[in-house]
Amino acid sequence: MEAVVRREITGFSNPTVKYLRSLRDKKIRRREGKFLVEGLRLLTDALVSGKIPEILVMASGRDTHPLLVELEGAVTSAGGEVIETSADILSKITGKDNPQAVAGMFAEFDTSLGALDRTAGPIWMVAQALRDPGNLGTMLRTCDAVGAGGLILVDDCADPFSVEAVRASMGAVFTKQIAQARWDEFIIWLRQGDGQLVAASLRDAVPYRGAPYAAPCFILVGNESQGLPQDYEDTCDLRVTMPMRGRADSLNAAVAGAVLAYEVLASLD
Amino acid sequence: MEAVVRREITGFSNPTVKYLRSLRDKKIRRREGKFLVEGLRLLTDALVSGKIPEILVMASGRDTHPLLVELEGAVTSAGGEVIETSADILSKITGKDNPQAVAGMFAEFDTSLGALDRTAGPIWMVAQALRDPGNLGTMLRTCDAVGAGGLILVDDCADPFSVEAVRASMGAVFTKQIAQARWDEFIIWLRQGDGQLVAASLRDAVPYRGAPYAAPCFILVGNESQGLPQDYEDTCDLRVTMPMRGRADSLNAAVAGAVLAYEVLASLD
């Protein structure tokens, strides 16, 4: 392991501070292809998955921690930069009053369909126009729990690299595959190989329990308020319905996806 | 129906405006026992469930809507107040840049255990130290979907009457029973009648599929980061475990509750 060289930043107007801070803006994040991750736990999850930050920022006065030492070494070995700064400046970067003592900047991953390995799991989750980053992160977390290959984001979804999505994923953003695509592109990719496309639907649907699921099973969940467009549902190989005993006829999108994913998991076992 | 009398408020410093605005603060909400609900859809859900706002605030220049006319009539008949104000002032009250055209102030409901009707459903959800209001609202929404009696909040949970919880509940805050209690109080209440207490657990647990669920079944979900205290788990009649195929060993609390609730629903049918 090489010696760790820390750059010290003491000024709020430092260009690196400004740059890191600007990544809280989705447009800038997209243009730069970089994103910020806060906290030793998430950064350690990333490291275990072979993802090393290009820049590591640590607050001075933090507690020492063996995992942090390991992280610093990994960043340095990979040619990245380690920055030490005040808690105030770190707070400015992350935009939180009580920031964690460490944050990292990563290059966004390749999220093209072509980069997916569809044999990575018997289940895939597919979200269409999912707008809430918390729901997106929760779906990634569920992907991890059920051993799914990953999450495919269709049409205009929330940003999987936003702080909120990364946090809700509990690290699964680093361990699960993620793709972003338009619907037409997704269907072309899907039909190039094996894959059953299953929609949670209210019409022309069979009960979700005991439905004929087949691996690899792609579970499609629609937008939080609109649900799936009808022609998207029509394209699916299987439409399943869950009991709705209440006054409303819907579930939270991440919840519906998870209930279905656990059913598919039990069915395929 | 009586004639509707609207009071017009044009000043930001009007005491009613200040009072309504102050309800965004949890402490004041708790002290006053009142909460705010935004949007015609949620207010209509409330009305259908027999819950009428004490104060209805409408933005001038809004579109007319038959449901809004009905709401105004109901508020007036019940002795409530109808206020017309500018979109700017409504925005100040709700704290949102693009507020909906209408908001209502309700008296909080009785959330004592004694007010619960345990025969209201074969399933109940119980959350312990649930901190995220979005998760809380999502659990209420799931309660509606599975025909549960309602949600019991144990120990220090998020506020079910916060704007975020109400919104995530999609109106279920008005249709499902809600109680708040300390653990000891809850257990005493539970044991005064029928009820099987089931915990999602990782130890000394049976597989969640095919477990011997019995109605009324109380599904207990723990805090987002700590899970359930061990002595709480030990108190449960049944501990069940869900497959965890990933690197992490947990699900989002609202997701875990929903997967379990759908399993119990299928088992009891």
For residue A106, is pLDDT > 70?
A: yes
Same domain (yes/no): B235, B144: yes
pLDDT in tens, B74-108: 999 999 999 999 999 998 898 877 667 899 999 99
User: Average pLDDT over chain B, rounded to whole?
Assistant: 93
Q: Work out whether the CA dihedral B113, B119, B121, B124 comes out positive or negative.
A: positive
Evaluate whether A173 touches A137 at the Cβ level (below 8 Å): yes
Q: Which of B81, B107, B133 is the last residue of a domain?
A: B107
Does residue B179 lie in a domain region?
Answer: yes
- Structure confidence by residue, pLDDT tens digits, A219-254: 999 998 889 999 999 999 999 999 999 988 789 999
Do both A88 and A118 map to the same domain?
no
- To 10 degrees, the CA torsion angle through A137, A163, A180, A112? -120
C-alpha angle A25/A30/A34, rounded to 5°?
85
Question: Mind telling me how many Å the CA of A255 is from chain B's nearest CA?
Answer: 5
Q: What would the two tokens of residue B195 be?
A: 């009820």
CATH number of the CATH domain containing A56: 3.30.1330.30
Nearest Cα to Cα of residue B173 among B141, B149, B142: B141
Judge if B15 and B54 occupy the same domain.
yes
Do A147 and A126 reside in the same domain of the chain? Answer: yes
- For the four alpha carbons of A166, A151, A154 and A200, in that order, the dihedral sign comes to negative
C-alpha pair distances (Å), B264 with each of A136, B124, B196, B200, B267:
26, 10, 11, 12, 5
Cis bond leading into B53, ω under 30°?
no
Are B124 and B160 found together in one domain?
Answer: yes
Query: To the nearest whole angstrom, how far is the Cα of B257 from the nearest Cα of chain A?
Result: 9
pLDDT of residue A99: 67
* Residues from B in contact with A at Cβ < 8 Å: 45, 48, 134, 138, 141-147, 168, 170-172, 175, 209, 242-248, 250-252, 254-255, 258-259, 262, 265-266
Whether residues A255 and B209 touch (CB distance < 8 A) is answered with no
Q: Determine if residue A13 is left, alpha or beta; phi over 0 gives left, psi from -120 to 50 gives alpha, anything else beta.
A: alpha
DSSP letter for each residue of B43-79: HHHHHHTT---SEEEEETTPPP-HHHHHHHHHHHHTT
Task: Say if residue A120 is exposed, middle or buried (CB neighbours under 10 Å; 0-12, 13-18, 19+).
Answer: middle
Pick from A145, A259, A266: which is nearest to B258 by CB?
A: A259
In a domain, A1, yes or no: no
CATH number assigned to the domain comprising residue A238: 3.40.1280.10
**What residue numbers bound the domain in which B133 lies?**
113-268
* Residue A160 lies inside a defined structural domain of this protein: yes
Amino acid in position A25: D
Convert the pLDDT of each residue in B182-239 to its tens digit: 999 999 999 999 999 999 887 779 999 999 999 999 999 999 888 999 999 999 999 9
Distance from CA of B241 to the nearest CA of A (A): 12
The CA distance from B7 to the nearest CA of chain A, in Å, is 34
Last residue of some domain: A107, A133, A151? A107
Residues of A with Cβ-Cβ distance to B168 under 8 angstroms: 252
Total Cβ atoms within 10 A of residue B43: 27
Cβ atoms of residues A201 and A228 within 8 Å: yes
Task: Kindly state whether residues B238 and B140 are assigned to the same domain.
Answer: yes
Task: List CB contacts (< 8 A) between B48 and chain A.
Answer: 247
Q: Are residues A258 and B248, on separate chains, in Cβ contact within 8 Å?
A: no
- CB A246 to CB B144 under 8 A? yes
**Does residue B98 sit in the same domain as residue B207?**
no
Give yes or no for a contact between A219 and A261, defined as CB atoms under 8 angstroms apart. yes
Q: Residue B128 falls within a domain, yes or no?
A: yes
Whether residue A79 contacts residue A140, with contact meaning beta carbons closer than 8 Å, is answered with no
What residues does B151 pair with on adjacent strands? B125, B178
Out of B88, B107, B126, a domain closes at: B107
Asked if residue A22 belongs to a domain, the reply is yes
Average of pLDDT values for A64-78? 92
Q: Are residues B96 and B161 in the same domain?
A: no
B145 and B49 assigned to the same domain: no
Contact residues on chain B for A262, CB-CB shorter than 8 A? 242-243, 259
DSSP-based three-state secondary structure for B92: helix
- Using a CB–CB cut-off of 8 Å, the residues of A that contact B are 45, 48, 134, 138, 141-147, 168, 170-172, 175, 209, 242-248, 250-252, 254-255, 258-259, 262, 265-266
Residues of A whose CB is below 8 A from B134:
134
Asked if residue A63 and residue A40 are part of one domain, the reply reads: yes
Q: Which residue has the tokens 């597919």?
A: A126
| Residue A19 confidence (pLDDT) above 70 | yes
Q: With bands split at pLDDT 50, 70 and 90, how would you rate the model's confidence at B62?
A: confident
> Taking residues B254-263, what's their average pLDDT?
97
Which residues of chain B lie closer than 8 angstroms to A144, CB-CB?
245-248
What DSSP character marks residue A42?
Answer: H
Nearest to B145 among A145, A245, A265 (CB): A245
Q: Which sign, positive or negative, has the C-alpha torsion A134, A140, A142, A145?
A: negative
pLDDT-derived band of residue A3, with 50, 70 and 90 as boundaries?
low
Average of per-residue pLDDT across A65-85: 94
The secondary structure of residue A158, as a DSSP letter, is: P
Residues B19-61 have pLDDT tens digits of: 999 999 989 999 999 999 999 999 999 999 999 999 999 998 8
| Amino acid in the structure at residue B133 | P
* B1 belongs to a structural domain: no
**What's the Cα-to-Cα distance from B23 to each of A237, B133, B160, rounded to whole Å?**
49, 16, 13
CA-based nearest distance A249→chain B, Å: 7
**Helix, strand or coil for residue B181?**
strand
Assign A174 to helix, strand or coil. Answer: helix
Residue B152 and residue B96 in one domain: no
Distances in Å between the Cα of A190 and the Cα atoms of A38, A181, A197, B59 are 34, 11, 9, 48
Q: Looking at beta carbons, which residues of chain A come within 8 Å of B248?
A: 141, 144-145, 170-172
pTM: 0.92
Amino acid at B96: K
Say how many CA atoms lie within 13 Å of B232 toward its Cβ: 24
User: Is the Cβ pair B248, A142 closer than 8 Å?
Assistant: no
Does A128 fall in a domain? yes
8 Å CB contact of A246 and B170: no
> What pLDDT score does A238 carry?
97
**Number of domains forming the structure of chain A:** 2
Q: Is the pLDDT of residue A24 over 80?
A: yes
Same domain, B13 and B129: no
CB of B235 closer than 8 Å to CB of B260: no
CA distance A63 to B23: 39
